[in-house]
Amino acid sequence: MSVVGLARDAAVPRRRPVRGFTLIELLVTVALLAILVALAAPSFANLINSNRLAGAANDIVAALQVARMEAIRRGQSVVICPSTDGASCAGAEWSRMIVFSDRNGNQAVNAPQDVVLRDITLAAAGMQVVPSASVGGSGWIRFSPDGLAWVGANRSGAIGVCSNRLPDASNTRDVRIATSRVSVSTRNGTSACTAPSDN
Whether the link from the prior residue into 82 is cis, omega within 30° of 0, is no
pLDDT the model gives residue 22: 87
CA 27 to chain centre: 40
pLDDT single digits (tens) 145-187: 999 999 988 999 999 999 988 888 889 999 999 988 999 998 8
CA 52 from chain center: how many Å?
3
**Which segments in the chain show pLDDT lower than 70?**
1-13, 17-18
Helix (H, G, I), strand (E, B) or coil at 164: coil
Specify the pLDDT at position 12: 60
pLDDT at site 36? 86
Say if residues 120 and 98 touch (Cβ distance below 8 Å): yes
Say what the pLDDT of residue 179 is: 87
Q: What is the pLDDT of residue 5?
A: 54
Q: How many Å apart are CA 15 and CA 20, to the nearest integer?
A: 15
